[in-house]
Amino acid sequence: MTATRTGRPRSEATRLAILQAAATLTTELGYDHVTIDAIASRAGAGKQTIYRWWSAKSMVVADAVIEGLLRLPALDLPDTGDLSADLKAWTTASAAKMGDSRFLQVVRALVTAATGPEQDASRLYEHIMRPTYEPLVARLRRGQDAGQLSTAVSAESVADALLGTLLFRALARLPMPETMTGIIDALLAPPPPPSSS
């Protein structure tokens, strides 16, 4: 019994109105120009209601992401049986979305939240990163089962490298597709060791 029991219960309608307002304003104005006052006003809520449930603006935006009101680029990973083609299709599509400035606005909120208290960071990982990470690892494992990826390397390592590259180059604003193709080839179908260059 962790719950308190008396008192007016939290209003779900208000909670959603706040998250919706945060999502809308982030998309319209960009993360930096969103204010708590504006979120409250747009949501028809009091500021205290926001501060009662969220510790910072970044957490409100992060919750809007979790709630699905503010979409990160969808990263549905296909499974056609051809791991290499699937990964290339996925990274190419993902990379294309990374150039979207609205995406960077959201990423900024998430990174801000991620550098905050451990508890908040973990929550974000669970709700935002894991839904992308786990299917990717699973797909890589199926590729290993199919003999398309060496079992000498952990699927997690490859997933880290792929997601990390996307993150790194997105933040650095470097071009992406070719790079991703190269590393995928390197990991999946390594050439014979060079003997004489």
Partner DNA sequence: AGGTAAACGAGACGGTACGTCTCGTCTTCCT
Partner DNA sequence: AGGAAGACGAGACGTACCGTCTCGTTTACCT
Binding DNA by CB under 7 A: which of 16, 38, 77, 138?
38
In 73-195, where does DSSP find H-type helix?
83-98, 101-114, 118-124, 130-145, 155-172, 177-188
Using CA atoms, how far apart are residues 87 and 66, in angstroms rounded to an integer?
A: 25
Number of residues this chain uses to bind its own copies (CB under 8 A): 60
Residue 175 CB neighbours (<10 A) = 10
Please report how close the Cβ of residue 37 comes to DNA at its closest, in angstroms. Answer: 4
14 binds, options DNA, its own copies, none, Cβ within 5 to 8 A by partner type: DNA
Binding DNA by CB under 7 A: which of 1, 2, 9, 147?
9
Interface segment toward DNA; rule CB under 7 A; list 6-14, 71-79, 83-91, 126-134? 6-14
CA distances from 15 to 36, 39, 62, 114, 176 (A): 14, 11, 13, 22, 38
Binding DNA by CB under 7 A: which of 48, 80, 119, 196?
48
Q: Which stretches of the chain bind DNA, using CB under 7 A?
A: 4-11, 14-15, 17, 33-38, 43-49, 51-53, 56-57
